Structure 1
């Protein structure tokens, strides 16, 4: 089963946690739908995402929290942070 948006922060005992940024609807017409980024939530709660859209430059972005990623890239619910 897949869990979604805004999970509790990884803890120092559990270490980093992986997630995907999944776009259900591409409101900008730029990145398409499906998995558009891979991410890691570090033990301190900060996150790093790596964009992985075929044919586009792969960039890496850091943020203070999963919630920040949702606000910045969520497009009002069209994109979800999905933890396995």
Structure 2
């Protein structure tokens, strides 16, 4: 494994500071993992959100990686990715 490629997962939280859509709320609204390939899988914390009438968390996949997550959910800096792992 000396080829310089990282072979571990990186966990993150999606933290929303302002809810422009008045749907997902604020605070930690989702958790996710970035795979060594850059692929990202994310789970929304829907069941903890009083604004949503659901008993299950939603899931989303981002083959384009963390930049896709930021582009789709960043809302002009109102939401950010906070890494839990180095």
Deviation per residue, 1:23-73 (Å, 9 max, x gap): 000000001100000000001111000000314441111102101000001
Q: Indicate which of 36, 49, 54 corresponds to 1:43.
A: 36
RMSD in angstroms over aligned alpha carbons? 1.4
Structure 2 portions without partners, runs of 5+: none
Structure 1 portions without partners, runs of 5+: 1-9
TM-score, with structure 2 as normaliser: 0.78
Q: Secondary structure at the match of 1:32?
A: coil
Q: How many residues get paired?
A: 73
Higher helix share goes to which structure? Answer: 2
> Paired residue for 2:13?
20
CA distance, structure 1, for counterparts of residue 6 and residue 35 of structure 2:
8
- Larger Rg over CA atoms: 2
CA distance, structure 1, for counterparts of residue 78 and residue 69 of structure 2:
13
